[in-house]
Amino acid sequence: MRTDPEENEIHALRTLAGPLAGKRVLEVGSGDGRLTWRYAAEAGHVTALEPEAERVERARRDCPAALQPIVEFVNLGIEEYAASVHTDRFDLAILAWSL
Amino acid sequence: MAAEGMVHALSLIHELLKPGGFLIDLHPGKEKPEFSVLFPDGSRFVGHLEETDDFVEYAQAQSALERVVSDGLYRLEHAGEFPFVSHAARFAEMEAFLAENWKDAVLTSALRAEAAAAFRLPGAQEIQLVERVAIARLRRVDQGAPKSMVK
């Protein structure tokens, strides 16, 4: 099974996001990290929220070594996360298939 | 997530973004995803993917985005669309993938029959599922409505 080998999704994301270098990114509903792996190396830091524990475990297990200092997987939904942190933290939020 | 929950989530994200920050939303568009079987000289349409809830959440997502723009929380800077294609060597592989990743997908008997017929033809290579995905960039509006105004 191959999903988006044409890389249309990451191309569209890059086009709209512009350069990610040094930026703090919030990904809401990151699932098993499928999209995260494709852009995280370009970002300053990624906080990836996913409420399903099983998916977070899979993402942490599969996270490439080079991305481990950059990506933080958080097993929370947006409501719980927003209640636990300060505001004005992120340059960019990505909602990929999560609304 | 129900429509009001989507608006609430977008208002929470507004609070988490720095002034001048932005969000990028991707969600499936209005058109039903299409299955095609690929051949060396082209592809053959075999049917649409259906959903148990008739794709209601995608219309709700679009409405939620429009709502937070009209509420003054965000400014829409760009909206577009792209094809997202999933490829499987056989229908059974596609079906297993959807069972794992797309819980409310419905594969009709007509689709199954058309796909089986296409795979019986010489040269059938794979089955593709093409989704049209909407993508939008929304900039945080710093003088946006206070949280209390967002229902």
Interface of A with B in 64-83 (CB under 8 A): 78-79, 82
A89/B16 Cβ within 8 A: yes
User: Residue B105 above 70 pLDDT?
Assistant: yes
Query: Packing angle between helix B91-101 and helix B109-120, nearest 10 degrees?
Result: 150
> In total, how many domains does chain A have?
1
Name the closest residue on chain B to residue A98, using Cα atoms: B27
Residue boundaries of the structural domains of chain B: 3-142
Mean pLDDT across B89-107: 94
Phi, psi of A91 (to 5 degrees): -80, -30
Q: Quickly list H helices, A1-99.
A: 8-17, 36-39, 53-62, 78-84
- Flag whether residue A95 sits within 8 Å of chain B, measured between CB atoms: yes
Three-state DSSP class for residue B105: strand
Q: Compare CB distances from B64 to A28, A79, A99 and report the shortest one's residue.
A: A99
pLDDT of the residue at A45: 97
User: Residue B129 above 80 pLDDT?
Assistant: yes
Length of chain A equals 99
Question: Which residue, B113, B25, B115, B119, is CA-closest to B65?
Answer: B25
Contact B131, B143 (CB under 8 A): no
Residue A3 lies in a domain: no
From the number of C-beta atoms within 10 Å of its C-beta (0-12, 13-18, 19+), residue B151 rates as: exposed
Tokens coding A74? 């958080």
A6-53 pLDDT tens trace: 999 999 999 999 999 999 999 999 999 999 999 999 999 999 999 999
Length of chain B equals 151
Contact B16, A88 (CB under 8 A): yes
d(CA A81, CA A83): 5
Contact B71, B149 (CB under 8 A): yes
CATH number of residue A44's parent domain = 3.40.50.150
A44: containing domain:
8-95
Residues forming a β-bridge with B140: B74
Q: Nearest-5° angle of CA B117, CA B121, CA B123?
A: 135
pLDDT of the residue at B59: 87
pTM, whole model, 2 decimals? 0.89
Question: Which residue, B95, B114, B134, is CA-closest to B45?
Answer: B114
Three-state DSSP class for residue B23: strand
Residue A76 lies in a domain: yes
A95/B24 Cβ within 8 A: yes
B34-88 pLDDT tens trace: 999 999 999 999 999 999 887 888 889 999 999 999 999 999 999 999 999 999 9
pLDDT of the residue at B143: 65
